[in-house]
Amino acid sequence: MKVQKVFIVVYLGLISLGFLSCSRDYQPKPKGYNRLDLPDHNYSITPDSLPYQFEYSSHAQLLKDTSWIREEHWVEIYYPLFKATIHVTYKEINSSEKLLREFLNDAYVLTSKHQIKANAINETLVKTPGGKSAMIAEIEGEVPSQFQFTVTDSVKHFLRGAVYFNVQVQNDSLAPAIDYMKIDAMHLINTLDWKKR
């Protein structure tokens, strides 16, 4: 008998709680994105084993390239916080105009592959503080790579970089991380130097 009374009280309590929790003034919440706490920009310099040097983020890991087409001096700068990578490839030109044109054309083709999903591709030719020529491509839209670049002295060295995010979210939610990575990529470009061999 006592168990039945306790059951009835609990049952009635749950029903009344259900009625009290329901309200008719529900309003949908606006769409939101996760907040990213961005670290300060701090930099380290690449090791002496490479034919080039630049400063890269202290919050990133400098790794050997893992692609199946990798070459000796290709690296990946991996950002664990963003699940993002700057892929860096390097080629020697050896004073060959033909090789330079080939490398520039390859870079152009790789960038233009994003045209299918890109809203715009904005390319800018700049001179770095060290006097090198850099082509910077900013790609707008839902694309896997929003920032790509090439840097060359037009005689001996050619370096290409591309920023990739390994996440499936909209670029609106990635905007702070994309801007952060662009700053780091520009710092890489502006601190790039070739080593004498």
What does the pLDDT look like over 111-152, one tens digit per residue? 888 777 788 889 999 999 989 999 999 988 888 889 999 999
Q: Would you state the structure tokens that stand for residue 80, as one six-digit string? A: 């664990």
Please, are residues 197 and 73 in contact by the beta-carbon 8 Å criterion? no
How much is the pLDDT for 25?
Answer: 62
- Tell me what pLDDT residue 6 has: 66
Phi, psi for 61 (deg, rounded to 5): -110, 130
Do the Cβ atoms of 148 and 106 come closer than 8 Å?
A: no
Residue 45: the pLDDT is 96
Question: Which element (helix H / strand E) includes 164?
Answer: strand 157-165
pLDDT digits (tens), the chain, 197 positions: 666 776 676 676 667 766 666 566 656 665 655 667 788 999 999 999 999 999 999 999 999 998 888 889 999 999 999 899 999 999 999 888 999 899 988 888 888 887 777 888 899 999 999 899 999 999 888 888 899 999 999 999 999 999 998 876 566 678 888 999 999 999 999 999 998 76
- Determine which helix (DSSP H) or strand (DSSP E) holds 185, and give its type and residue range: helix 171-191
Strand pairing category for 133-141 and 61-64: unpaired
For residue 135, how many other CB atoms are within 10 A of its CB?
18
What's the pLDDT score for residue 59?
Answer: 95
Give residue limits of the domains in the chain.
43-194
pTM here is 0.79
Taking the alpha carbons at both ends of the chain, their separation in whole angstroms is 94
DSSP reduced 3-state for 13: helix
Q: Residues 43-194: name the CATH superfamily.
A: Mog1/PsbP, alpha/beta/alpha sandwich (3.40.1000.10)
